[in-house]
Chain A
Amino acid sequence: MPAVKGDGMRGLAVFISDIRNCKSREAEIKRINKELANIRSKFKGDKTLDGYQKKKYVCKLLFIFLLGHDIDFGHMEAVNLLSSNKYTEKQIGYLFISVLVSASSDLMKLVVQSIKNDIVSRNPVHVCLALQCIANIGSRDMAEAFNRDIPKLLVSGDTIDSVKQSAALCLLRLLRTAPDLIQLGEWASRVIHLLNDQHMGVVTAAASLIEALVKRSPEEYKGCVSLAVSRLSRIVTSSYTDLQDYTYYFVPAPWLSVKLLRLLQNYPPPEDPAVRTRLTECLETILNKAQEPPKSKKVQHSNAKNAVLFEAINLIIHMDSDPNLLVRACNQLGQFLSHRETNLRYLALESMCLLATSEFSHEAVKKHQETVINALKTERDVSVRQRAVDLLYAMCDRTNAEDIVAEMLTYLETADYSIREEMVLKVAILAEKYAVDYTWYVDTILNLIRLAGDYVSEEVWYRVIQIVINRDDVQGYAAKTVFEALQAPACHENMVKVGGYILGEFGNLIAGDHRSSPIVQFQLLHSKYHLCIPSTRGLLLSTYVKFINLFPEIKAQIQEILRNDNNIRNPDVEIQQRAIEYLQLTSVTSTDVLATVLEEMPPFPERESSILAKLKKKKPGAAEDPDAAGGKSSPPTVASKPMPEISVNASYQPQGASGGSADLLGLSSSAPPAAAPASNDTGCLVDVFDMLGTGASPTSNGLTAAADENYKSATTPDLEAGPDKIHEFVCRNNGVIFENDLLQIGIKSEYKQNLGRVGMFYGNKTSVPFSNFTAEVSLPGELSSQLMAQAKPVDSQVEAGAQKQQLVNIECVTDFTVPPVLVINFLYNGAQQHMTVKMPVMVNKFLEPAEMDAATFFQRWKNLSAPAQECQKIFKAKPPMDGEQTKSKLLCFGLSILEDVDPNPENFVSAGVLHTRNQQIGVLLRLEPNSQAQMYRLTIRASKDAISTTLCELLESQF
């Protein structure tokens, strides 16, 4: 038995020895049960136990628990120990409680009471014990009980250093548990100034707390930036002897350095030039030190030094503003890529992934392509190879895509099973994104299926079909290639699916060659038929019926297959139904009808790649669209030609929808049904005008009711509606947007997701008719690519006192900042009139409210912490503050009102989704009114950069 340190509990040591001497698991359990019975009887017995005995038994229970057994008694005795005046008994009591008592236990009230006594003790060791217990349990009750005492301890001048350290971290823990309960108020600045404290341990602990506070309210703690920079500067320029015991293996204060560097990653580069220069100097010094010879051969030295270096590189990447630093960082990481330490290679690959997304360093990263590919081939640890795959994905662009994709395909053959699926997704995305030549894309995906068919998810093969259908330049090639691929004796099922689908659509393009004549194609496909699962067979049956349309000469053979009992009486209802229906269809209908029903599939609407969505789901964060941050090239569009009006393939579509190949393109959930818009349009159109009570024909007289309402207020005689005017429509969809002596323009609009239907009303206020009347929507500058607007023509004659209507269909392609402009021309009394009016179509019109609970809200809020994702504005209330009005404004703005999220009932918390054609953007909002100061603080975070600013500006104008 080894020596027992401190005050030994002999009984405990004997018990532990006994347990260790047990020869079997059964013997151990027997011994434990015996001990449990003994302790239970001691606790229950009438003889009062003294503190030492209680402590010993509680400790034994703890040991039994740590062995993995459940403990269901002794809690009360442990709580009793807390009030002992002997330190060791108290300490064991606290230990038991922090390990074994759950925060929800009924005993917590007693525990909190004991802590209350200890935290005001004059003995600092007792205070520390109490603080440690709070930090270990960190329950909401504790936050409630101590949210005043702990901040006080932290900033008080009387508190000794070790207590301050514990208080800082204790507060941090409570802040994480119950952010709403921890408010530092006027102490914020004193907390920030702890960064200047003499005691390095205090600064280290405080830096952690400050980082958490900063994450919550960056603006309030902005003062920490300059303090952190100067503290960091003092550390990196000090010699290792200066900091005594805070130097770790010749590295001055690595923990504090890393914390400060991390703290600074919560802010953009410092605005103050002096601070900024000083920070740049720090970062340069850290990079320089990396080149110096090591002061020790110990791994601890290099780890600590490199920990600081990596964190500095993270900050450099975060600031993303100094090309010189970025390139130096990249070169440094390049050295690590071939370092003998596996850990460093791993971290270098990981950091380089981030560097690859910066436009300044993207090229520098690309220089290391060979090394990274080599890592993929030679690293012995799969987690390192995984990092190499990530980096290749991140560094890929149009210039190196072919090489990188080829290397990834080669590696795929031998890759670990654990990363194959992800690799397949990555290859598929890169191939699509950077394809210049779509034959290369088709080859790549077919190779993927050949090499790793089992890991090719549905999204991948759906996508290749979508692309082939949308690009007529690659269809012939695709048909030829799948035909060749299907020649292999053993084909992956996914290959059969892709092959079947493509030949069914485009088999005619290769039918001229006798080697791939219709009957050969058919026989080839049918040779795989019996090996396939029912859903694939269903797909092949659809291919066959399409063949009947494409190649009438093989109709008889195909009908024979359909008629075969294996199909027409197949126990699988899907196969049976298809066989029967296809047989019937091809028997009774004329060729014309058949040709219409089985027409080539129409192009798919453009959409975000479902593969990318899948990768994002698999690895949130890690799967960033390589373009998103680098801004190197715009993603290739799937359909480069303008989308033709989609004609519904009436019977092909619904039969597909009954199952099996219904999911073939997996579109129904993520995109509007291809055929819907045309018919829906009219439905809504009627609604808009029905509300006006006028039907679809122009009203003969006067203005709409909605327009009337604003008739009086709209007195501006200017031709151009002022900027304020348009702001009236941020939260409103209907009303008069413009009026002068001649003309009144009213609007009535409806929005759904990324689509809008806007009815414009032009009222002639004069007694003379307007002729040559035109109204066109103009999308100036960038807007032309951000918004699609299609205005129906309007009657060229507007009678005196009459009103004409015009329907404008709008689609939000991506987010935008300026509204479209309406250009109006007409002749009045022979004089040409020209006016331009801003249309009140703002990005918030495409917002839809989202509901979520508090936990989800805070989680998402936390995730959107990058500076560009957030916008905060503090401004004076213009109209008087009114909670109900604020609510309705937020609702009309397009957001939800989330109740019970913010503990302060005065505050508003909202969420919404901004719908654009290309993506959906999450938007979160917090609005904090301060009725005393008559000010608002508005914070918006959005999952896409810059949107929060646009929305903030729009909303600010409303208060």
Chain B
Amino acid sequence: MQFMLLFSRQGKLRLQKWYTAQPDKLKKKITRELVTTILARKPKMCSFLEWKDMKIVYKRYASLYFCCAIEHDDNELLTLEIIHRYVELLDKYFGSVCELDIIFNFEKAYFMLDELLLGGEVQETSKKNVLKAIAAQDLLQEETDDTKSLLEELGLTG
């Protein structure tokens, strides 16, 4: 996979993840053009399209479009299911996820994507394992926060 973009029906970018090094200018150009192209497509159309020299796979979930650019020998249908798995993960974590969750917790959305996909390839397809990894991260956060407050209570921090 070359990149993944999440954007709203209004064309606002909510998340971008690039798996190949590109200059910022080019990233912005690709994003702008691709978002326009996809928003112009009708609902019942095919989820795959050839765009420039890329293969694009996209799907809309409620107000959000999930869009991936994949390699020519990548499997289109399974890319749709990567998107779906990601949506499931977000949904499970946030509890019926909505666009706002992703806006306010964008860093979490990134962390979760890093567990599912790494370097553009599927890393872990098991929903259970990804959620376990994220839960472990949250636990670490709480622990460190706890220690912090404990130390504060004891007056040990400046």
Chain A residues proximal to chain B, CB less than 8 Å = 1-2, 4-7, 13, 16, 20, 52, 59, 62-63, 66, 68, 86-88, 91-92, 95, 99, 102-103, 125, 131-132, 135-136, 138-139, 162, 165-166, 169-170, 172-173, 177, 200-201, 204-205, 208, 245-246, 248, 253-256, 258, 262, 265, 300, 303-304, 306-307, 310-311, 342-343, 345-347, 380-381, 383-384, 386, 621
Contact = CB atoms under 8 A, between A and B. Distances in A.
B141 A135 contact: no
A255 B107 contact: no
Contacts of B153: none
B128 interface: yes
B140 A87 contact: yes
7 contacts: A5-B138, A170-B118, A205-B121, A208-B122, A245-B128, A307-B77, A381-B42
B103 A16 contact: yes
Nearest to B135: A6
Given A170-B118, A208-B122, A6 B138 contact: yes
Given A170-B118, A346-B46, A346-B48, A307 B108 contact: no
Given A87-B137, A258-B78, A262-B73, A95 B13 contact: no
B60 to A, nearest CB: 13
Given A20-B103, A66-B16, A304-B77, A162 B47 contact: no
B126 interface: yes
A5 B93 contact: yes
Contacts of B28: 68
A62 B107 contact: yes
Contacts of A87: 137, 140-141, 144
Contact of A2 (B42, B104, B107, B145): B104
Given A95-B107, A245-B128, A381-B46, A343 B77 contact: yes
Given A66-B13, A258-B78, A7 B145 contact: yes
B30 interface: no
B77 A303 contact: yes
Interface of B: 13, 15-16, 19, 21, 28, 42, 44-50, 72-73, 75-78, 80-81, 84-85, 93-94, 98, 100-101, 103-108, 110-111, 114, 118-129, 133, 136-138, 140-142, 144-145, 148
Contacts of B133: 162
A139 B20 CA distance: 10
Contact of A59 (B107, B124, B145): B107
Chain A facing B: main interface SS: helix
Contact of B75 (A63, A91, A311): A311
A79 B92 CA distance: 32
Contacts of A310: 75, 77
A443 B106 CA distance: 61
B103 A169 contact: no
A98 B137 CA distance: 18
A66 B106 contact: yes
Nearest to B97: A2
Contacts of B42: 380-381
Given A135-B118, A258-B75, A383 B123 contact: no
A253 B122 CA distance: 12
Contact of B121 (A20, A68, A172): A172
Contacts of A138: 21, 119
Contacts of A256: 125
Nearest to B117: A169
A343 B133 CA distance: 33
B78 A307 contact: yes
A66 B104 CA distance: 12
Nearest to A139: B21
Nearest to A169: B118
B119 A172 contact: yes
A383 B50 contact: yes
Among B42, B47, B93, B122, chain A packs the most CB atoms within 10 A around the CB of: B122
A86 B138 CA distance: 12
Given A13-B104, A201-B125, A343-B48, A132 B78 contact: no
A952 B138 CA distance: 58
A380 B78 CA distance: 24
A4 B141 contact: no
Given A245-B127, A384-B46, A88 B122 contact: no
- Which residue of A5, A7, A63, A138 has the most chain B CB atoms within 10 A of its CB atom? A5
Contacts of B148: 52
Contacts of B138: 5-7
Contacts of A208: 121-122
Contacts of B126: 200-201, 245-246
